[in-house]
């Protein structure tokens, strides 16, 4: 399924009632089964963008649309959150089943489907555990399983591994790509980590400081499956430098202003 | 530091060497209820009878009889003048002495302090005696109170026991009125002025007047153990009390009218704030010399014990000490 | 070359548990109390002896008297607590979830909450009589408020992230209420229950001190009126045991209902 963003702008009122322009005239298209990363300096509106696509924010100006076949019973999007957003009072199994409940699946089906994705994400044996008993990496696996279980056409990932330590993050990135080989959704992947963006994505959308505009869309010329060795390849390094070059001064300005 | 000590020493010396002159009279704290029943004490205080014998009385007001007994036990007051309750006897059982020393009010024929008031609708329906109240709810202030005792004695007169009615403690006299008026109980054992209020409001009718039915030693003057041990002071107070008692008797009991009577009514009205008509109805009977009704305290002790409200089997000599009164009377021999 | 050992800084950090001291301390206190009463310095009126209290309690238990009082009081508490908790949770939920209910309910609750429920007792007796209704009602009122306020707070403090997550998976309003707000509020609801349990005991005793002829509060008041301080102590001991028991029960219930809470 393709995701089309056509001249999307979004303004909202902040706490003191001031109008804040988060996004300005963002346009790009994510192709079916493509992993598109979105990076930018602090406050560039990348999370806002994701929430718009998820329907969690009221639409602003412009249009967002999905193009392609959507089998019945499958939602267009499902989200994976930076802080995991698991229900502490639900076991792993129950957490993964959440989306299936809302989709109206009968209990027996839910159990089976959830188990499949629990196995897929390496959570086998932990079905009965509560989130507080799991490490950060495990918790995000639950978050991913939960999102995958509803088999969305588009997977929205909002800095999914930012809350994890560097080592876990590295492993989880590899895991995700491995899972994605099997499930093949279109993925919109928001991150502040340029290395992560380039290593994961087919293309990287670079946003400017607030109000977020598309500065550049950088294609990544690396083959799949991605390997650690590629981290040293010129194609990788070049892409990273290009992106950092585009946003470096903006990032500095954002730091100076001290605003988020 | 040294200067402070020196200053304190100087001050205490100065106080100790205060010029001689009128030594203040020893104070005696006197616990009473702010009711007409305490008239004899108001009289004694107002007319200076206690000061005459070298005692400076300080009136301390209470809302009910039981707290006075407690205050005597804890030593907060030296003299109490109020009704006799099971609680008081239990204080003695509990190892603290309180001494009953003189008469301060008896239920007596024509001098009714309390009554059994029944609901008007039940009265109209034929409930005229305790027999008709079998199984019904009778309100009292507290378990162990004089009203509780009254009900027990009313029942005994009819050959019944406390088990034949349902005693409902309502904690206060106004609550008894409310309960009877609202028909939550069938009868109440209460005192003036509440009896008159119930009758005038039409909520209740009197079926038993206590004094007319069985006289008893309902209220007395009591000494704390501390005062009792101070013989001189205890007797001095008693002499003042005897004078007050005789004056009271002559004004109220002997004559029932006249300038002394009116003066007492006015005095009582000043102390209690009650209306004169009610005051006239509320003067209790007591012995002219303040003597106790012989044997009645013993009878009360036996009754409470039998009913299970006083565990120990006390006798009169455990709680009564009329020696102060006797000594005071001897000293006052020849005085009116 | 000299060697230096690592300086021991643990003394300032450790906090010992002293399990033996806990028990011994209490025992020593009771023992001292017993000895004091036996010396006769203090009349039994002021300080009943622990053994005397135990003996009196045993006697009251054997005669069945204590059982009657406890049963009566329990009946009143369970009813009042149950009704108050139910009402409080329902109202708290409604006010927490529906903005209109919040707009109406919050000022009402804020206005009525500070009224000491004991002060309402005479009014309740006027309206409901001197029987069971007024007693249960005052307990109910006393439990209602902490339950309503705690439930409301629990609901309002439901993690907005979790609500967003639920909505992102297609949850509608009712789903969010059932699946996020209610479970989020449960810890606060249990906190309210523990608070309410204490309040209900207090109000029970107060209610039983006005127009009752059985119950632990009545027992205490009766003993006080008759100056039977030993029986008074029995009543107080039973009361505190009731308090302990209800707290223990609630803690167990909370653990069973909230298995996902990491043990504090």
- Give chain A's end-to-end CA distance (angstroms, integer): 33
Q: Do A132 and C258 lie within an 8 Å CB cutoff?
A: no
Cis peptide before A65 (omega within 30 of 0): no
3-state helix, strand, coil in chain C (%, to 5): 80, 0, 20
pLDDT digits (tens, 9 = 90+) for C208-246: 887 788 899 999 988 988 999 999 999 999 999 999 999
pLDDT at B58 over 80: yes
Q: Residue B205: what pLDDT?
A: 93
Chain B: residue whose CA lies nearest to C125: B179
A239 and A171 inside one domain: yes
User: Does the residue B18 lie in any domain?
Assistant: no
Report chain A residues whose CB lies below 8 A from the CB of C175: 102
Q: Do B143 and C46 lie within an 8 Å CB cutoff?
A: no
Flag the least confident range among B4-8, C12-16, C180-184: B4-8
Sign of CA dihedral C169, C174, C180, C183: negative
DSSP assigned state of A225: S
Would you list the domain boundaries of chain C? 57-257
If you count residue pairs, one on B and one on C, with CB atoms under 8 Å apart, how many are there?
67
User: Does the residue B269 lie in any domain?
Assistant: yes
Report chain C residues whose CB lies below 8 A from the CB of A188: none
A157 and A202 inside one domain: yes
Report chain C residues whose CB lies below 8 A from the CB of B146: none
pLDDT digits (tens, 9 = 90+) for C97-156: 888 999 999 899 999 989 988 888 888 888 887 788 999 999 999 999 999 999 999 999
CA distances to B114, B121, B208 from B136, in Å = 20, 14, 16
- CA of B1, closest CA in chain C: separation in Å? 37
> How does residue B4 score in pLDDT terms, banded at 50, 70 and 90?
confident
Q: Do B94 and C43 lie within an 8 Å CB cutoff?
A: yes
Q: Residue B170: what pLDDT?
A: 86
User: Does the residue A14 lie in any domain?
Assistant: yes
Tell me the residue length of chain C. 264
B236 and B101 inside one domain: yes
User: Does the residue A239 lie in any domain?
Assistant: yes
- CA of C227, closest CA in chain B: separation in Å? 5
DSSP assigned state of A125: T
Flag the least confident range among A49-58, B157-166, B295-304, C32-41: C32-41
Q: Residue B77: what pLDDT?
A: 95
User: Does the residue A52 lie in any domain?
Assistant: yes
pLDDT at B10 over 80: no
Out of A152, A171, A195, pick the residue that ends a domain: A152
A159 and A240 inside one domain: yes
B120 and B133 inside one domain: yes
3-state helix, strand, coil in chain A (%, to 5): 40, 25, 35
A46 and A144 inside one domain: no
A179 and A246 inside one domain: yes
User: Does the residue B11 lie in any domain?
Assistant: no
Average pLDDT over residues C22-29: 86
Round the average pLDDT of chain A to a whole number and report it: 90
Sign of CA dihedral B183, B187, B189, B195: positive
Report chain A residues whose CB lies below 8 A from the CB of C263: none
A142 and A183 inside one domain: no
> How does residue B184 score in pLDDT terms, banded at 50, 70 and 90?
confident
Most C CBs within 10 A among A48, A79, A89, A157, hence the mutation to make, goes to: A89
Most C CBs within 10 A among B70, B72, B165, B184, hence the mutation to make, goes to: B184
Instruction: Give CA–CA dist B284/B218, Å, rounded.
Output: 10
Most C CBs within 10 A among A58, A87, A151, hence the mutation to make, goes to: A87
Out of B213, B237, B258, pick the residue that ends a domain: B213
Structure tokens belonging to residue B127? 């409930």
User: Does the residue B240 lie in any domain?
Assistant: yes
Out of A110, A129, A152, pick the residue that ends a domain: A152
Report chain C residues whose CB lies below 8 A from the CB of A79: 165, 168
C2 touches chain B (CB under 8 A): no
Instruction: Give CA–CA dist A189/A80, Å, rounded.
Output: 10
Question: Which CATH architecture does the domain made up of C57-257 adopt?
Answer: Orthogonal Bundle (1.10)
> CATH number, domain at A217?
3.40.50.300
pLDDT at B17 over 60: no
Structure tokens belonging to residue A29? 């298209």
Report chain C residues whose CB lies below 8 A from the CB of A130: 259-260
> How does residue B12 score in pLDDT terms, banded at 50, 70 and 90?
low
Out of A121, A152, A183, pick the residue that ends a domain: A152
A158 and A241 inside one domain: yes
Establish how many alpha carbons lie within 13 A of residue C107's alpha carbon, considering only the half-sphere containing its beta carbon: 4
Q: What is the dihedral of CA B155, B158, B163, B169, to 10 degrees?
A: -20
Most C CBs within 10 A among B87, B145, B188, B301, hence the mutation to make, goes to: B87
User: Does the residue B302 lie in any domain?
Assistant: yes
Listed in sequence order, the residues at least 6 apart from A62 whose beta carbon sits closer than 8 Å to its beta carbon are: A5, A6, A7, A8, A9, A25, A26, A27
Cα angle for residues B323, B329, B335 (degrees, 5° grid): 170
Neighbours of B92 (CB within 10 A): 23
Could you tell me which residues of chain B have a Cβ less than 8 Å from any Cβ in chain C? 66, 69-70, 73, 85-88, 90-91, 93-96, 142-145, 166-171, 175, 178-179, 182, 184-185, 309-311
pLDDT at B84 over 60: yes
Sheet holding A214-219, edge to edge: A77-80, A154-158, A186-190, A35-39, A203-207, A214-219
A146 touches chain C (CB under 8 A): yes
Average pLDDT over residues C171-181: 92
B275 and B290 inside one domain: yes
pTM above 0.80, yes or no: no
Nearest by Cα to B137 from B104, B170, B159: B170
Range of the domain at B53: 26-107+216-331
A96 and A165 inside one domain: no
Out of B213, B238, B268, pick the residue that ends a domain: B213
> CATH number, domain at B223?
3.40.190.10
> In the 3-class helix/strand/coil scheme, how is chain B assigned residue by residue?
CHHHHHHHHHHHHHHHCCCCCCCCCCEEEEEEECCHHHHHHHHHHHCCHHHHCCCEEEEEEECCHHHHHHHHHHCCCCEEEEECCHHHHHHHHCCCCEEEEEEEEEEECCECCEEEEEEHHHHHCCCCCHHHHCCCEEEECCCCCHHHHHHHHHHHHCCCCHHHCEEEECCCHHHHHHHHHCCCCCEEEEECCHHHHHHHHCCEEEEEEHHHHCCEEEEEEEEEHHHHHCHHHHHHHHHHHHHHHHHHHHHHHHCCCCHHHHHHHHHHHHHHCCCHHHHHHHCCECCCCCCCCCCHHHHHHHHHHHHCCCCCCCCHHHHECCHHHHHHHHHCCCCC
pLDDT at B275 over 80: yes
User: Does the residue B84 lie in any domain?
Assistant: yes
Domain count, chain B: 2
Range of the domain at A114: 85-152
B208 and B221 inside one domain: no
A95 and A224 inside one domain: no
C175 touches chain A (CB under 8 A): yes
Out of B183, B213, B243, pick the residue that ends a domain: B213
C209 touches chain B (CB under 8 A): yes
B310 and B223 inside one domain: yes
Average pLDDT over residues B202-208: 92
A58 touches chain C (CB under 8 A): no
By Cβ distance, the residue of B73, B90, B179 closest to C226 is B90
User: Does the residue B287 lie in any domain?
Assistant: yes
b/e per residue A127-149 (b: at least 16 CB within 10 A):
bebbbeebebbbbbbbbbbbbbb
User: Does the residue B257 lie in any domain?
Assistant: yes
Flag the least confident range among A254-258, B90-94, B302-306, C69-73: A254-258
If you count residue pairs, one on A and one on C, with CB atoms under 8 Å apart, how many are there?
50
Report chain C residues whose CB lies below 8 A from the CB of A150: 169
Report chain A residues whose CB lies below 8 A from the CB of C179: 87, 98, 101
ipTM over 0.95: no
Question: Containing H/E element for C46?
Answer: none
Q: Residue A230: what pLDDT?
A: 86
| 3-state SS assignment for residue C3 | coil
C44 touches chain B (CB under 8 A): yes
Nearest by Cα to A83 from A147, A154, A158, A5: A158
Residue carrying the six token digits 């409940």 = A101
By Cβ distance, the residue of C44, C130, C226 closest to B95 is C44
Chain A: residue whose CA lies nearest to C162: A85
> How does residue A1 score in pLDDT terms, banded at 50, 70 and 90?
confident
CA distances to B35, B152, B161, B304, C13 from B157, in Å = 29, 9, 9, 16, 77
- CA of A63, closest CA in chain C: separation in Å? 19
Domain count, chain A: 2
Q: Residue B186: what pLDDT?
A: 94
Report chain A residues whose CB lies below 8 A from the CB of C180: 87
All chains having 3 or more CB pairs closer than 8 angstroms to chain C: A, B
| 3-state SS assignment for residue A20 | strand
pLDDT at C263 over 70: no
B165 and B286 inside one domain: no
Flag the least confident range among A173-177, A194-198, B48-52, C47-51: C47-51
Q: Residue B19: what pLDDT?
A: 52
C123 touches chain B (CB under 8 A): no
């Amino acid at each position: 399924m393709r995701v089309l963003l056509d001249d999307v702008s979004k303004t909202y009122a902040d706490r003191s009632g001031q109008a804040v322009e988060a996004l300005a005239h963002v346009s790009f298209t994510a192709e079916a089964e493509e992993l598109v990363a979105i990076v930018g300096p602090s406050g560039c509106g990348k999370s806002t963008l994701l929430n718009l696509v998820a329907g969690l924010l009221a639409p602003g100006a412009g249009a967002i649309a999905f193009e392609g076949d959507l089998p019945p019973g499958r939602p267009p999007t499902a989200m994976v959150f930076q802080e995991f957003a698991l229900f502490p009072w639900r076991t792993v199994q129950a957490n993964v089943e959440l989306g299936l409940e809302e989709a109206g699946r009968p209990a027996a089906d839910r159990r089976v489907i959830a188990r499949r994705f629990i196995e897929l994400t390496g959570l086998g044996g932990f079905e009965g555990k509560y989130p507080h008993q799991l490490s950060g990496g495990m918790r995000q696996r639950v978050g991913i399983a939960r999102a995958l279980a509803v088999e969305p056409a588009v997977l929205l990932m909002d800095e999914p591994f930012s809350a994890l330590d560097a080592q876990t993050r590295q492993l989880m990135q590899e895991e995700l790509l491995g899972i994605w080989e099997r499930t093949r959704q279109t993925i919109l992947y928001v991150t502040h980590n340029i290395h992560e963006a380039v290593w994961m994505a087919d293309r990287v959308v670079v946003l400017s400081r607030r109000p977020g505009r598309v500065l550049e869309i950088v294609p990544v010329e690396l083959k799949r499956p991605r390997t650690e060795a590629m981290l040293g390849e010129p194609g990788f390094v070049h892409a990273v430098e290009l992106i950092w070059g585009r946003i470096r001064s903006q990032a500095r300005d954002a730091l100076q202003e001290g605003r988020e | 530091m040294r200067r402070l000590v020196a200053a304190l020493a100087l001050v205490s010396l100065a106080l100790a060497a205060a010029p001689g002159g009128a030594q203040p009279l020893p104070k005696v704290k006197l616990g009473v209820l702010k009711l007409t029943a305490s008239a004899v004490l108001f009289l004694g205080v107002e007319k200076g009878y206690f000061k005459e014998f070298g005692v400076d009385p300080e009136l301390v007001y209470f809302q009910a009889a039981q707290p006075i007994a407690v205050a005597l036990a804890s030593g907060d007051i030296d003299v109490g003048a109020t009704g006799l309750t099971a609680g008081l006897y239990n204080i003695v059982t509990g190892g603290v002495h309180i001494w009953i020393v003189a008469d301060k009010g008896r239920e007596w024929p024509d001098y009714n302090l309390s009554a059994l008031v029944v609901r008007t609708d039940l009265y109209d329906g034929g409930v005229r005696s305790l027999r008709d109240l079998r199984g019904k709810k009778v309100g009292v202030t507290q378990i162990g109170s004089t009203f509780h005792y009254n009900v027990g004695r009313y029942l005994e007169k009819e050959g019944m026991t406390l088990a034949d009615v349902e005693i409902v403690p309502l904690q206060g006299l106004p609550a008894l009125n409310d309960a009877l008026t609202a028909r939550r109980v069938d009868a109440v054992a209460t005192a003036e002025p509440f009896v008159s209020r119930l009758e005038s409001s039409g909520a209740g009718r009197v079926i038993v007047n206590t004094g007319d039915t069985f006289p008893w030693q309902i209220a007395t003057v009591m000494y704390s153990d501390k005062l009792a041990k101070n013989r001189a002071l205890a007797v001095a107070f008693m002499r003042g009390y005897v004078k007050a008692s005789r004056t009271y008797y002559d004004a109220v009991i002997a004559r029932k009218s006249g300038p002394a009577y009116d003066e007492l009514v006015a005095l009582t009205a000043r102390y209690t704030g009650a209306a004169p008509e009610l005051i006239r109805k509320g003067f209790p009977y007591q012995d002219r010399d303040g003597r106790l009704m012989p044997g009645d305290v013993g009878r009360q002790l036996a009754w409470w014990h039998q009913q299970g409200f006083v565990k120990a089997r006390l006798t009169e000599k455990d709680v009564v000490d009329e020696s102060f009164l006797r000594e005071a009377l001897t000293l006052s021999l020849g005085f009116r | 070359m000299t060697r230096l050992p690592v300086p021991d800084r643990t003394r300032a950090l450790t906090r010992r548990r002293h399990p033996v001291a806990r028990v011994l301390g209490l025992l020593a206190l009771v023992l001292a109390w017993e000895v004091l009463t036996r010396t006769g310095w203090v009349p039994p009126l002021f300080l009943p002896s622990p053994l005397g209290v135990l003996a009196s309690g045993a006697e009251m238990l054997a005669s069945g008297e204590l059982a009657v009082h406890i049963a009566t009081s329990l009946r009143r508490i369970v009813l009042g607590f149950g009704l108050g908790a139910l009402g409080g949770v329902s109202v708290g939920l409604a006010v927490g979830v529906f903005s209109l209910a919040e707009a109406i309910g919050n000022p009402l609750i804020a206005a009525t909450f500070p009224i000491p429920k004991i002060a309402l007792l005479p009014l309740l007796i006027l309206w409901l009589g001197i029987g069971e209704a007024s007693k249960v009602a005052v307990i109910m009122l006393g439990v209602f408020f902490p339950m309503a306020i705690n439930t409301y707070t629990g609901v309002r403090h439901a993690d907005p992230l979790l609500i967003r997550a639920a909505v992102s998976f297609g949850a509608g309003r009712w789903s969010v209420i059932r699946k996020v707000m209610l479970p989020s509020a449960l810890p606060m609801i249990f906190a309210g229950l523990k608070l309410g349990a204490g309040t209900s005991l207090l109000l029970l005793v107060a209610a039983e001190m006005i127009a009752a002829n059985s119950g632990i509060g009545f027992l205490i008041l009766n003993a006080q009126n008759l100056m039977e301080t030993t029986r008074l102590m029995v009543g107080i001991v039973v009361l505190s045991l009731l308090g302990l028991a209800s707290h223990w029960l609630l803690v167990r219930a909370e653990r069973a209902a909230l298995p996902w809470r990491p043990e504090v």
